[in-house]
């Protein structure tokens, strides 16, 4: 019997999200995210309007992140392609996230501040995809030299990562060994 997964038909849509992190000035990093939606056939909206095939959404979001605090210092949005000009009214919808710390609970705070009718669901989706990648970029930045990851920073990173997945579960062997090594007491 043929698996339904092997019988897929023509491609209808793709969403690509890419996140890259760049050194900025030795104290901050720039985290840049791109979201691109493509449709591979003409489509029609619920209003009857016709949309040609091609890029529907193409947006770039940049975050300036302080490496000593993980605070988002600034936000920059480029709406290169959007389905309606009305969408451009959301250009500043992520301004309320300035000052937030990239830590546990960030996604819920960001959605509360910039989600729903206050903003653009695609920008918020891109932002929430960028947050864990920003942490990875921060770790890549800090771990370039052995002195970059001091014990206090390592403790902070462990607290951030605990219970984010199976390998990082609080009572698992990996976290337990780190707690002993870093002298972390719950």
Query: What pLDDT does 89 receive?
Result: 96
The DSSP element (H or E) to which 129 belongs, if any, is helix 121-142
Task: Confirm if 31 and 134 have CB atoms less than 8 A apart.
Answer: yes
Query: What pLDDT does 7 receive?
Result: 73
Q: Where are the chain's structural domains?
A: 13-144, 150-186
Please list the residues that pair with 32 across neighbouring strands: 20, 62
Query: What pLDDT does 157 receive?
Result: 76
Q: What is the pLDDT along the chain (186 residues), one digit of tens a residue?
A: 567 787 788 999 999 999 999 999 989 999 999 999 999 999 998 989 898 999 999 999 999 999 988 999 999 999 999 999 999 999 999 999 999 999 888 999 999 999 999 999 999 999 999 999 998 998 888 888 776 667 777 777 777 788 888 998 988 888 888 887 787 765
pTM for the full model? 0.86
Apex 112 CA angle, 102 and 29, nearest 5: 25
Query: What pLDDT does 175 receive?
Result: 85
């Amino acid at each position: 019997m043929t698996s339904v997964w092997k019988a897929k038909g023509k491609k209808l849509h793709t969403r690509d999200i890419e996140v890259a992190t760049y050194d900025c000035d030795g104290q901050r990093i720039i985290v840049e995210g791109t979201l691109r939606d493509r449709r591979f056939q003409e489509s029609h909206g619920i209003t009857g309007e016709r949309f040609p095939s091609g890029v529907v959404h193409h947006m770039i979001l940049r975050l300036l992140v302080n490496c000593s605090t993980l605070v988002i210092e600034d936000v920059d949005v480029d709406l290169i392609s959007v389905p309606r000009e009305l969408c451009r009214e959301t250009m500043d919808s992520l301004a309320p996230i300035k000052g937030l710390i990239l830590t546990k609970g960030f996604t819920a705070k960001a959605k509360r501040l910039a989600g729903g009718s206050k903003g653009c669901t695609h920008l918020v989706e891109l932002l929430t995809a960028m947050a864990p990648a920003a942490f990875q970029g921060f770790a890549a930045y800090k771990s370039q030299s052995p002195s970059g990851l001091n014990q206090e920073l390592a403790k902070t990173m462990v607290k951030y990562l605990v219970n984010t997945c199976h390998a990082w579960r609080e009572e698992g062997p990996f976290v337990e060994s780190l707690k002993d090594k870093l002298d972390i007491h719950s």
